[in-house]
């Protein structure tokens, strides 16, 4: 049996004297749809960046697909949509299709150009996230939800095994969020493992399979159903609002 896609072992991280993460250990398996949740300042985005090798832990380590992340090289198998990605990309006067195409160009040597196979992959990725009809629209003129879907198309254009998203519904109208998460459901059903950092407790009960709850330490890690019946879940959600956690 194949091992987990991501292994996090005894990870510690501090910003100066401020502890961000304390002894974090858990695995992410093939096919998981994992939500990393917790209060502001709990270390969610920090842990995501450590998993991606963007920052080094003070101690402990991460393995990606069985390889220590500092030696991992198969980054085409990993998709990533960072927090504030929209604010960064909105300034470029490019079309939605060109934004997605950048995902194919990233691993190419000079001269960089899109082949027919690349063009087909771009179209397929845009179809999978429901934005193929926006191909020739200027990226900066799209709504927040449309931009985020285009950025996800860019992240999956190389057919990754795992997709990381940091607060993916930032800038998306609340009326559009359910459709956005259904799109992530579809990608997960097609075999992409999904890991998302979110403050949206509502997503927990409708979509994800696993939950990792952080508050510097790992407060909880397990299945959705286990989370819904845990004291940790009730502590995060005030009053009677915990009832929304149950699936419908």
On the question of pLDDT at 247 being above 70, the answer is: no
Across 8-22, 102-116, 134-148, the highest mean pLDDT is recorded for 8-22
Distances (CA, A) of 233 to 37, 64, 83, 245: 10, 29, 24, 9
> What's residue 87's pLDDT?
53
Does residue 119 belong to any structural domain of this protein? yes
**Which pLDDT does position 225 carry in this prediction?**
83
Residue 210 domain-assigned?
A: yes
Tell which phi-psi region holds residue 4, choosing left (phi > 0), alpha (psi between -120 and 50) or beta.
Answer: beta
**Domain tally, the chain:** 1
Is 189 among the domain residues? yes
The answer on pLDDT for 115 being more than 50 is: yes
The domain in which residue 202 lies consists of 6-245
The answer to the question of residue 31 being in a domain is: yes
- pLDDT for the residue numbered 98: 92
pLDDT at 239: 46
- For 144-199, the pLDDT digits (tens) are 888 889 999 999 999 999 999 998 877 677 777 778 888 899 999 999 999 999 87
User: What's the whole-number mean pLDDT along residues 13-38?
Assistant: 94
Task: For residue 116, tell me if it sits in a domain.
Answer: yes
Using CB atoms within 10 Å of the CB of residue 31, give its burial: 0 to 12 exposed, 13 to 18 middle, 19+ buried. Answer: middle
| Residue 245 reports pLDDT greater than 60 | no
At residue 9 the predicted structure's pLDDT band, cuts being 50, 70 and 90, is: very high
Residue 1 within any structural domain of the chain: no
Write the CATH number for 223. 3.40.50.300
């Amino acid at each position: 049996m194949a091992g987990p896609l991501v292994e996090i072992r005894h990870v510690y991280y501090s910003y100066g004297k401020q502890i961000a993460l304390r002894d974090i250990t858990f695995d992410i398996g093939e096919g998981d749809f994992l939500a990393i949740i917790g209060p502001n300042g709990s270390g969610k985005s920090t842990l995501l960046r450590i998993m991606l090798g963007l920052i080094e832990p003070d101690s402990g380590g991460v393995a990606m697909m069985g390889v220590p992340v500092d030696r991992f090289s198969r980054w085409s198998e990993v998709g990533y949509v960072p927090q504030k990605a929209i604010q960064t990309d909105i300034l470029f006067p490019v079309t939605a299709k060109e934004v997605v195409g950048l995902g194919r160009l990233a691993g190419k040597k000079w001269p960089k150009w899109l082949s027919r196979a690349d063009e087909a992959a771009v179209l397929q990725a845009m179809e999978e996230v429901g934005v193929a009809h926006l191909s020739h629209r200027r990226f900066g003129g799209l709504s927040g939800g449309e931009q985020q879907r285009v950025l996800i198309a860019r992240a999956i254009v190389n057919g990754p095994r795992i997709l990381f998203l940091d607060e993916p519904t930032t800038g998306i109208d609340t009326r559009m969020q359910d459709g956005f998460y259904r799109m992530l459901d579809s990608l997960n059903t097609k075999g992409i493992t999904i890991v998302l950092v979110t403050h949206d407790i509502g997503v927990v009960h409708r979509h994800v399979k696993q939950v990792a709850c952080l508050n510097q330490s790992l407060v909880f890690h397990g299945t959705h159903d286990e989370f819904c019946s845990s004291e940790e879940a009730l502590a995060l959600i005030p009053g009677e609002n915990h009832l929304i956690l149950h699936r419908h």
